[in-house]
A and B are shown apart, each in its own frame.
Chain A
Amino acid sequence: MTSPLQQKLKITGPTAITANRLADGVVVWLTPQRTWSEAIADAAIATTSDEVHALLASAQADELEAVGAYPARVAVEDGKARPANLRERIRVDGPTVAFGSAA
């Protein structure tokens, strides 16, 4: 998947804002309360370009809790966000391969 960091901001459906937590790099999602959650199901879902811009602006405001925020297209099920492509699925679920002593 082309890195979203290299893509122009174009909204093609339900979108959530995601980033990596500063202290440990863990993937986090911006909630409607403008806090960060590890659960994609907690993510605020935007559907218009204006909403996405507003969420992104607040996500990028301080970069103290999370870094590298960008808009990710998501699928919506029962009103909750789920990964819409392989890249986001890997970010949410971890590598698709066993690693370490589990390998």
Chain B
Amino acid sequence: MYVYDEFDRTFLSERVADFRDQVARRLSGELNEEEFKPLRLMNGVYLQLHAYMLRVCIPYGTLSSHQMRALASVARRYDRGYGHFTTRQNIQFNWIKLAELPDAMDELAAAGIHGIQTSGNCIRNTTTDPWAGATPEEIEDPRLYAEVIRQWSTLHPEFTYLPRKFKIAITAAKHDRAAIRVHDIGLRLHRRGAETGFEVIVGGGLGRTPFVGKTIRDFLPKQHLLSYLEAILRVYNSGGRRDNIYKARIKIQVHEVGTEEFARRVEEEWAQIRDGALLLDEAAFDQIRDRFVTPAFEPLDDAPDALAEALKNPDFARWHANSVGPHKVAGHAIVTVSLKPVGKPPGDATAEQMDGIADLADAFAYGEIRVAHEQNLTLPHVRQKDLPELWRRLDALGLATPNVGLISDIIACPGLDYCSLANARSIPLAQRLTERFADPDRIADIGRMHINISGCINACGHHHVGHIGILGVEKKEQEFYQVTLGGKGNHKTKLGELIGPAVSEDEVVDVVERIVDTYLDLRAGPSETFIAAVQRLGLEPFKERAYAAR
């Protein structure tokens, strides 16, 4: 955990006080809507279909049990008893009253959390691997650098009015769990000889015009991180398009000027500032590193007897197979908590579940919780001997669905049930799909599969990078869905391809099932995953069968 300093805390409470004043002036009519709207957006407050929505930032997806309880309390006191975890590693409350928002924000600020910079054309919450600081794959904890970026970008005077919003993601592991190639800037920490540095990727993004990010530098020594980011932002800030909101993201600029030319401009700008005030030395890193409290791990053995015994229970074994990952410290494990129970809205958690997870984190996981972009939670540091008891208690909370990484672990945006921009609903479709694919043996047989659903082209549900992507469109006021295949959001990012005309709300679940059946019939064997089969076979056999029954 990172511990905020006095400056951060004072800043947060002043910011809430300002917002309280702004809300009062809006309600009294002193501020009009045009004046107020940018102020509320700056604090993460949106107006949805039937209420205000508060988006709360969870810096690099790390939460303490104490902060989780603060979220539960806000859900209970100011909302309708639940919250929605999103693909941006943050949480949204859907029903808070404007007049009560300052009180809710005060409670959150007391726990060190807020909605600042979750909206507006600024540098957003830097996202990272939910397994950061726990996975044996990483060379260093990437959150250190996420925090360096946060301190630099928060209220950076030059970058609060960018052409568009700006999102940075960072990973230090080979397996990309942070989707770095679909962010404005993606950073991959790696080593060259004794030196640590970053591969720098720019211009990725989803939405209306999706692009996979391009590498503009293979290796940037870490001490230059901020000057190089600053150079990229300057090139974007001066050359990005402000004339057209659909062309204002950096991805369009990179596409229009070309990767090489963009890289050249960045290097040119960087040459001016690389050895200036932004140069980072070890002392600067140490200062931030010191404020991260890492758990005092107990020395334990791998695969303890209690675990071996518990694995004889097939239900536990099934959950263990897809929810538990290896940890860098012997005797420990990383646990993914599925927020995708069959038939429920993906990513939702009730106040009771949030409190329950906080208690489990305290009892079994050194008090730490992460939010993953797949809309699940992670307990990053669990003692292996505690896994059976943790599983029993998660199950009692309705949080032990054994489907992590499988077909019913669906990502879905809020869609037309909440979002004023939607063309079609996402959540009910996700629910019907999880019901269709409810049998644990069948979904284990289908194996690794990501279905991602967005209710409109803004792509909050990341449909472009779903193995099966589903996009809601509208035809004559009816809900229709386009289906894409072959997308991937990992270290081999690829955008999915459309299989054909959109299908109606009635047909779409059957279409998905026919695609899955085609895979099961044609796969080279159980070890060939869906995505590998799509790559080998191409779209044709899937297309043919998907539309066959029409």
Contacts and interface: CB of A to CB of B under 8 A. Distances in A.
Given A62-B29, A63-B33, A99-B82, A23 B98 contact: yes
B427 interface: yes
B477 A3 contact: no
Task: Select the residue from B50, B80, B425 with max chain A CB neighbours within 10 A.
Answer: B50
Given A23-B27, A96-B425, A103 B416 contact: no
Interface stretch (A29-37, A41-49, A50-58, A84-92): A84-92
A82 to B, nearest CB: 15
A68 B46 CA distance: 12
Contacts of A24: 51-52, 97-99
Given A62-B29, A64-B29, A97-B345, A27 B50 contact: yes
Nearest to A95: B417
Interface of A is mostly: loop
B477 A1 contact: yes
21 contacts: A1-B422, A1-B423, A3-B420, A22-B33, A23-B97, A23-B99, A24-B51, A24-B98, A68-B47, A86-B416, A86-B425, A87-B49, A87-B416, A90-B416, A91-B49, A96-B425, A99-B80, A99-B348, A100-B80, A101-B82, A101-B350
Contacts of B423: 1-2
A99 B349 CA distance: 9
Contact of A67 (B47, B49, B425): B47
A2 B51 contact: no
Nearest to A97: B427
Contact of A103 (B50, B52, B344, B474): B344
Contacts of A3: 420-422
Contacts of A95: 417-418, 427
A26 B50 contact: yes
B428 A20 contact: no
B397 to A, nearest CB: 12
B33 A67 contact: yes
Given A100-B80, A101-B82, 6 more contacts: A22-B98, A25-B50, A90-B49, A95-B418, A97-B427, A100-B82
B352 A101 contact: yes
Contacts, number: 92
Interface in B321-359: 344-345, 348, 350, 352
A76 B416 CA distance: 23
Interface residues of A, number: 29
Interface string B1-41: 00000000000000000000000001101001100000000
In the A-B complex, list the 8 residue pairs whose CB atoms are closest, starting with the nearest: A95-B417, A25-B51, A24-B97, A100-B82, A25-B52, A100-B81, A85-B477, A63-B33
B73 interface: no
Contacts of B50: 20, 25-27, 90-91, 94
User: Which size class do B's interface residues fall under?
Assistant: 35 or more
Nearest to A62: B29
A39 to B, nearest CB: 14
A103 B345 contact: yes
Contacts of B479: 86
A23 B32 CA distance: 13
Given A68-B47, A85-B477, A97-B431, A5 B29 contact: no
Contacts of B416: 1, 86-87, 90
Given A1-B416, A26-B50, A67-B33, A100 B428 contact: no
A27 B48 CA distance: 10
A25 B98 contact: yes
Contacts of B49: 27, 87, 90-91
B499 to A, nearest CB: 24
Contacts of B431: 97
